[in-house]
Chain A
Amino acid sequence: GAGVSQSPSNKVTEKGKDVELRCDPISGHTALYWYRQSLGQGLEFLIYFQGNSAPDKSGLPSDRFSAERTGGSVSTLTIQRTQQEDSAVYLCASSLLFRASGGRAGELFFGEGSRLTVL
Chain B
Amino acid sequence: AQKITQTQPGMFVQEKEAVTLDCTYDTSDPSYGLFWYKQPSSGEMIFLIYQGSYDQQNATEGRYSLNFQKARKSANLVISASQLGDSAMYFCVTSYGKLTFGQGTILTVHP
Contacts and interface: CB of A to CB of B under 8 A. Distances in A.
Contact of A100 (B33, B100, B104): B33
A56 B96 contact: no
A91 interface: yes
A103 B50 CA distance: 8
A55, A56, A99 interface centre (most CB from chain B within 10 Å): A99
Contact of B52 (A33, A103, A113): A103
Given A102-B33, A108-B99, 4 more contacts: A45-B100, A93-B45, A106-B33, A108-B47
Contacts of B91: 42-43
A105 to B, nearest CB: 10
Interface of A: 33, 35, 41-43, 45, 48, 55-56, 58-59, 89, 91, 93, 99-104, 106-110, 112-113
B103 interface: yes
Interface in B45-61: 45, 47, 50, 52-53
